[in-house]
Amino acid sequence: MSQEIAVIGSPEFTTGFRLAGVRRFENVTPEEKSEELDDAVRTVAREEGVGIVVMHADDLDYLSRDPRAVVETSVEPTFVTVGGDAGSSGLRQQIKRAIGIDLMEED
């Protein structure tokens, strides 16, 4: 069974992914960002068939404690954040958590 990619964020954020062929998305309006983000994370995290969830790094600031813990510790689906100040070290940790090894580790 193939794993699907899901995207959570503002309509401006999700549009590019939708144009690239991502069919599973949760649009979150800026006015209701905190509560809607929490609900979107909970919903997508429970869905069978979703393997990767993409979010904007800045949106993590709007999550309450439990949904944030899901984003930071979930292996399946794996939450990947883009943008913001996370930089390559944040992506490195996300990849390490997802596959269990550090691909960038020097011998």
The pLDDT tens digits of the residues spanning 38-82 come to: 999 999 999 999 999 999 988 988 999 999 999 988 888 999 888
In contact, 45 and 70? CB cutoff 8 Å = yes
| CATH no., domain 4-99 | 3.40.50.10580
- Band (pLDDT 50/70/90 cuts) for residue 91 is low
The pLDDT tens digits of the residues spanning 20-40 come to: 899 999 999 877 778 899 999
Give the DSSP per-residue string, 10-39: -HHHHHHHHHTT--EEEE--GGGHHHHHHH
SS3 68: helix
Q: Regarding predicted confidence, which is higher, 50 or 84?
A: 50
- pLDDT score, position 75: 86
pTM of the model: 0.77
Positive or negative, the CA dihedral 28, 30, 34, 35 is negative
